Every structure is written in C-alpha cells, then in structure tokens.
Amino acid sequence: MSAPVSGLPPDLPSAPASGRSSASSDDLRAPTAGAPVEQAFHAIGFLALLLPLLAFLVLFVSVLADAWPRLGWGFLSGIPSRKPQLAGILPALVGSASLMGLTALIAVPVGIGAAIYLEEYARRSRLTSLIELNISNLAGVPSIIYGLLGLEVFVRAMHLGRSLLAGALTLSLLLLPMVIMTSREALRSVPLSVREACHGLGADRFCMLRLVILPMCFPRMLTGIILALARAIGETAPLLTIGALTYVAFLPDSVHSAFSTLPLQIFAWISRPQTSFHENAAAGIVVLLAVMLLMNGFALWLRARLQRRLPG
Amino acid sequence: MSALESEIDPDATPEPKLQISHLDAYFNDRHVVRDITLSVPQRRVTAIIGPSGCGKSTFLRCLNRMHEHVPGARARGAVMLDGVDVYHPSINPARLRRHVGMVFQKPNPFPTMSIRDNVLAGHRLNGTHVDAPGELVERCLRQVALWDEVKDRLGRPGVSLSSGQQQRLCMARVLAVEPEVILLDEPSSALDPIATAHIEELIEELKERYTLVLVTHNLQQAARVSDYMAFFYLGNLVEFDRTDVIFTNPKESRTEDYLTGKFG
C-alpha cells in the first residue's frame, strides 16, 4: 500500500479523458433551454393574479364609498323602515345567524354520518359508486333547484310555511353534498398505517373511528364545514324561492317564525328606485362581506390551532 | 428464572405455537402464497426471508388475519394457534389480533395521542379496564428500553420521538395488550443502524416470553436474531430449518444461491 493518499481511488483518472471541458465557466453560466418561456410565464401568471385582485379592490372600494355614510351602530341595531335613513339590518343579521346555526345543526351530523358510512362501512359496489357520483353531481346543481324542492317539500307538503326551519332544511340540502365530500376527504387523509395499527391491536371499527380516526381528521372536517357555511350565508335564490320575506321588522323567536337574511335584505333594498336605499344595500354588502371574512378567518385559525397538535 | 432458562434450552425441540397447513393467499387472481405448511416454535424467533415479492409479508399478515383487510384479498388453509383454527368462522379476527400482535415496517404511533396514551391505546381501543395504567406504561416502556428516555415527557405526542424510538413505542403498545405471538414485518427497515441494533436486542429479550415471527430482507439480521428460518421464493416455502443449519448446510440449492447473493 505505497500509493499516495488522496481523496480518489488510485485507479480513477484525475481529469476527464475526453476533450469536452464540462466544467468551463461559460457552460455553468449559460441559461437553460426553457428560460425565455419561463420568464414570460412568470409575467402572465402574475398578471392573472393581479387582474381579479384589482377588480375586487375596485368593487370593494366603490361599495365602501357608497356605504360609508350609513355604516354605524344605528344601522347594525336598527330594523328596516320605509325611511332609508332610519332603516337597519338587525333582523336580517339575526335571521342569517339563526339560519346558519340551524342549518349547521341539521347538515353537519347528517353529512358526517353519511361520509363515515360511505368511507368506512359501505362495501364497494355499483350502488355505492352510483351514490358517490350523484353526490358530486348534486354539489353542482344550481341552488334555485334546491329552492324549488324546498318550496314543494318543506313549505307545502310538510306545512312548515315560510319559516326559519323550512329555510334551514332547504339550505341543509344544498350544503349536504359539500359537507359529505369534505368529510370524506378528511377521512381519507388518515394514513392506512394508522388504520392497520388499530386493527393490529384488535380494535373494532367503531372504537377505531371514535378514538383514532375522528380525532385525527376533525380539524379538516371542521374547516370544510365552516367554509361551506360561509358560502351558504350568501345564498339568496333558494330562500327567495321558498318565499322568505324581504321586509321583516322583528327578530325571529322560534324555528317557526318568518325571517329575512342579509342577502335578501340587500336584494330588497337594491330593487327600490330611491338611491338612498342603494346606500343601505351597499352598507348591507359590507356587513355580509365582513361576516364571511370572519367565518373564513375563523376556519383558518381553527385549522392552524388544531393541526399544531397533530405533528406529522 | 431458572425454570424459564431450562424451558428455553436451545437444543430441546420446542412445542409448536402456530401450525400453518396448506395456506394459500390471493390478491384477486394473483396467487401470492402457495400451499405453505410450517410450524412456528414457541418462544423462539422464526425469520421469514426471501426476495421482494416472494409473499413473505402476505404470509405474515395471514397469521393474524390482517391480510383480509386489503380489498380483493383472501386466504385459504388452516392456521392453528395452540390447536385452534384462527380461520374458523366462529373466530372474531379482532379478538385474535390481541393474541397475535403486529409491529409494522414503518413506525405508526397514533398522532393524536401522547406517549403514555399510545402505550395504553390497545386497552382503550378494546374497551378493557386497566387497574394501574401508570405501572403498565412503565413496565411496557421498560421492556422496550424506552422508559429512561421518555419518563419525563410521557404527555408529549408519540410522534415527537425519533423514528427508532417511535418503533420501540409501537412495540410497547403491542406488549401492553399481552399477546402470545408477535409478528414483526421488517420492523427495522426504516431505521438507522443504531436504532436497528436496539430493535434486535429487544427481539432477543422478548423471545423469553413471546413467540416471534420476523419478516426481514436483511440476511445478517435474520442470522443474528433468529432461531429458525424459512426461505420463501415466488410464494413457495423452499426450505425451513434451524437458522444455523440453513446458513451452514442448506439442503436446497436455491437457498444457498440466495444466501450467497447469486440472486435476490
């Protein structure tokens, strides 16, 4: 072993034998083939992001400018009036909140239950595939169709009238496909290895779901549900169809009371000819946007908080 | 202790704990385990070796009926645990798995649970009452030599440990339900050499009380820890014998070729 000690095995040539000087500095500095296209793509992508943001900004600023004189405590705590300066949004705000609460109470247990059944218990068959296909299609059905269904089934056949309950049942139908799909995705995100660990310890399906699977996918389910609710709070068409009122001067006191909601109130004001009512509509839009932003922010906060407990 | 030592006299022929006869396993139309007949001796380490895709993991998963959880999978034949056929229709596979525990290739502690709750998870999932959970946690964690490393942070998540520690936690979790047989599916293939050495030491200790079946693609590991060895090839059992016999004097040329690296 008299060979000189070096980093290379002794039989390896110290420089490439061919004439190609692969490591010349020019070669290292040359651009790659896709470089010009990539720069263009970068610019197009940035523009595509900028345009909708600008459009939204312009919209928001003009609405805010219209709404500014009306925004205030009096507007939030007032009831609708024939005099636009006195009109407030409280019944619509309370109506929206109670409608969302009631809708969540109906749609969330049913939706999560259906998702658990489809994902964990149902055998793969033609029937379950058909049901799955229908659920994804139902998520894309226009909301006015759900309104017609709600009118026929809940308002007329079940004699619920134009009540909060009828509205909540209708919106629940609208939300169910979304709740089922997000819950199924959450269930599917639990890795097989965790399920196998449960089976390996002799757990039955119910205990596995309750103690391991549901705690693991709870944050994802909850986020999906809040986002679905935030979307539903802006729904107008199905509620108009079932005949929800646009002029309500009282707060709902039971699930059978008549009600109005923020988008309905906005719709009512904007259909008035007097421009001062349009200011009210703009203020209503600002309130609705604020509520939606709050809900989305809450969903994000909740996910971040709950997922910190779930490393890996 | 002396009674125990005489019981595991290495030269005595041990009682069979598991008797597998004419076991076939399928994934849909693929016949992956073919007519295996084999007796797993009590309180010994039996290693299953063979090239990738030879059916060794599937065979292992047939022993506690985990195989049937895969869609399209089925098995035929008999697996007798102390003389009871685990494939008899009256057998509840979930109850069986408390007697035949399993450690997986990738450490899989429950992410929502603390270290302590992970050890107790088997009892929680089975709804069985634990009289002294603190003692059980300590005993199981000591058995896997993890107690001193984690005793001050039992409330931390199980997934906060290193992967070697996680795998030992998974073994403690299996030990807590007091199985008789422990199936190990390449338990150290995702671990570094030091963590692997820990697992191998642990296997040596566990065989005093448990019957172990170890699937491994690491021949050195099989040589180090196993007492018996089965060589699988293309779903068939080629050879089954004491490990020292297999390594020094294999009867089948295919076994010798595999052990000497002519294929694999």
Q: What string of DSSP letters covers A137-160? A: HHTTS-HHHHHHHHIIIIIIIT--
The contacts of residue B229 (CB under 8 Å, 6+ apart) are: B46, B47, B48, B49, B222, B240, B241, B242, B243, B246, B247
- Return the pLDDT at B1: 40
- B72 interfacial to chain A (CB closer than 8 Å): no
Range of the domain at B164: 2-259
**Which tens digits make up the pLDDT trace of B46-58?**
999 999 889 999 9
Domain-located, residue B103: yes
pLDDT at B185 over 90: yes
Kindly identify which residue of chain B lies nearest to residue A196, measuring between CA atoms. Answer: B66
Q: Is residue B21 part of a domain?
A: yes
A61, part of any domain = no
Question: Is residue B6 in a domain?
Answer: yes
User: Would residue A221 count as lying in a domain?
Assistant: yes
User: What's the pLDDT at B179?
Assistant: 95
Q: The domain that contains B72 carries what CATH number? A: 3.40.50.300
- Give the separation between CA B193 and CA B213, rounded to whole angstroms: 21
Mean pLDDT of chain B: 91
- As for how many domains chain A has, the answer is 1
Asked whether residue A203 is assigned to any structural domain, the reply reads yes
B189 CB within 8 Å of a chain A CB: no
> Is A84 inside any structural domain?
yes
Report pLDDT for B222: 94
Average pLDDT per 10 consecutive residues for chain A, totaling 312 residues: 54 55 74 86 94 95 90 86 83 92 95 94 89 91 92 92 92 94 93 93 91 90 89 88 79 85 90 88 92 90 75 46
SS3 call for B240: strand
- Residue B204 burial (CB count, 10 A): 13
Element (H, E) at A292: helix A275-308
**Domain range holding A126?**
73-308
Residue A19 falls inside a structural domain? no
Over residues B256-261, mean pLDDT:
90
Whole-number pLDDT of residue A16 = 53
Instruction: Say if B126 is an interface residue toward chain A (CB within 8 Å).
Output: yes
Nearest to B102 by CA among A199, A194, A213: A199
Has residue B184 got a pLDDT over 80? yes
Residue A211: inside a domain, yes or no?
yes
Residue B35 lies in a domain: yes
> Is residue A274 included in any domain, yes or no?
yes
Amino acid B2: pLDDT: 43
Cβ–Cβ below 8 Å for B125 and A212: yes
User: Does residue A233 fall inside a structural domain?
Assistant: yes
pLDDT recorded at residue B176: 95
Could you tell me if the ipTM is greater than 0.90? Answer: no
Tell me how long chain B is.
Answer: 264
Q: Write b or e for each residue in A248-266: b if 16 or more Cβ atoms lie within 10 A of its Cβ, otherwise e.
A: beeebeebebbbbbbbbbb
Which domain CATH number covers A257? 1.10.3720.10
Contact between A200 and B95 using a beta-carbon 8 Å cutoff: no
Report the candidate in B74, B42, B44, B43 with the shortest Cα–Cα distance to residue B61: B74
Interface contact flag, B98 A311, Cβ < 8 Å = no
State how many domains chain B has. Answer: 1
- Is B253 a domain residue? yes
Interchain contact, A201 vs B71, CB within 8 Å: no
Q: Is the distance from CB of B173 to CB of B121 less than 8 angstroms?
A: yes
pLDDT, tens digit, 9 for 90 and up, residues A92-108: 999 999 999 999 999 99
